[in-house]
Amino acid sequence: MARRRAGHPRRQRPRSCVAGKGEGVTMAPGDLISRPGQVQYGDLLLGPGTPYRWRGITGWEELPALDSGSVARSDAHGAYPGLLLAQARTIGLDGLIVRAPRDRIGAVVGALNAGTVPRVDELPLVAWLDDRGPLLVYARAVRRSVPAGPGYRLGTIVGGAVEWVASDPRRYGVVEQVVAATLPTSEPGLSWPMGWPLNFGTPGSSGALVVVNAGDAESHPVVEFRGPVTTPALTNISTGDVLEYDIPLAAGDVLSVDTRAGTVLLNRGASRLYSATKRSVPEQTFTLAPGVTNFAFRAGPDSEPTATATVRHRPAYW
């Protein structure tokens, strides 16, 4: 029997809703960035090769503020160490310089303003600082300063700033990693009578997935089960944590588990969170530790060997 969970369903973050473009238009995070020193927020590009230059970025390489769960000892010096939970990350772009011909300075400032308006949903914010390559957060612009003065007449405005807040303080690799496996199947073995060269048949599937989080922070994956399959389950071999759902999936059905949002959606529509079995852990606790994680994909007896489990994630960094 599946267990039901109380609580309100969580709103799922859109894949990519880009500033200045119509609803439903998607683009890859950081697809406009081409060199170190550039920052992209939605479809607004800042840095070398653009009208917008900047002198410094704050909150990017710093640890975000931490809430400590430590409790003071009542009978000794010090405290009992507790969880350290990071607050939202605040990122500031300082010393912003806007440069354009005098007859276009208004349009260039207007484009900056349009790209940093208050929003309900977060947008991809990608910064490429050095040889490590670009990193990604999802954030909203919360402050923008463009000094109004003689710079408008000269075509050069100095002393501007933009500030964003990312509700998830971790930084992520721009390229999404995807690992998939089918259900375990046995190998056909040798055919009799035997002839040279020996044909052992097509290798069987083990149902194993090896996922590598190349970062230094835990990452929340998106797990997708594709039918035909019954009671699909994905087990973390190291921790024993399991995601398992008492639900049949027909061919073409996809059950998507977003462990960051805590949602379980059938074909990106109806919630199936209630189908989690008793041995399934809460979705938001199912994370990828830094390094290598081994998973096993299993399912009910009426499943087809073509059923798959896919793990999508980005390496996460503090």
Domain ranges in the chain are 39-69+82-169, 177-190+201-317
pLDDT on residue 12: 39
pLDDT band at residue 302 using 50, 70 and 90 as cut-offs? confident
Mean pLDDT of the region 60-71: 94
- Whether 155 shows a pLDDT value over 70: the answer reads yes
pLDDT on residue 45: 97
- Whether 116 shows a pLDDT value over 70: the answer reads yes
pLDDT band at residue 16 using 50, 70 and 90 as cut-offs? very low
Q: Rounded to whole angstroms, how far apart are CA atoms 170 and 288?
A: 13
For residues 57 and 1, the model is more confident at 57
* Three-class SS state of 259: coil
pLDDT on residue 184: 83
Q: Residue 160's closest CA among 174, 188, 141, 135?
A: 141
- The fold of the 177-190+201-317 domain, in CATH, is Jelly Rolls (2.60.120)
What's the length of the chain? Answer: 318
| Token representation of residue 220 | 């929340």
Q: Rounded to whole angstroms, how far apart are CA atoms 52 and 160?
A: 10
pTM above 0.75, yes or no: yes
Percent of the chain, pLDDT > 90? 80
pLDDT on residue 196: 53
> For the chain, first and last CA: distance in Å?
39
| Token representation of residue 280 | 């399934």
- Whether 191 shows a pLDDT value over 80: the answer reads no
pLDDT on residue 107: 96
pLDDT on residue 205: 67
Q: Answer yes or no: same fold for 39-69+82-169 and 177-190+201-317.
A: no
Degrees, nearest 5: CA angle 218-60-179:
35
Mean pLDDT of the region 116-132: 96
Selected from 2.10.70.10, 2.40.30.200, 2.40.160.10, 3.30.70.360, the CATH number assigned to the domain covering 39-69+82-169 reads 2.40.30.200
Q: Rounded to whole angstroms, how far apart are CA atoms 137 and 164?
A: 10
Q: Residue 234's closest CA among 273, 287, 290?
A: 287
pLDDT on residue 7: 41
pLDDT on residue 23: 40
Q: Rounded to whole angstroms, how far apart are CA atoms 285 and 273?
A: 15
| Token representation of residue 194 | 């035997």
Mean pLDDT of the region 291-318: 94
Choice among 26-30, 94-98, 167-171 with the minimum mean pLDDT:
26-30
**What are the E-state strand segments in 123-219?**
123-127, 135-145, 156-166, 171-173, 177-182, 208-213
* Residue 219, amino acid: S
Q: Rounded to whole angstroms, how far apart are CA atoms 169 and 20?
A: 25
Q: How buried is 280 (Cβ within 10 angstroms: 0-12 exposed, 13-18 middle, 19+ buried)?
A: buried
Mean pLDDT of the region 123-152: 96
The distance between the two most distant Cα atoms of the chain, rounded to a whole number of Å, is 92
* Averaged pLDDT score across all residues of the chain: 88
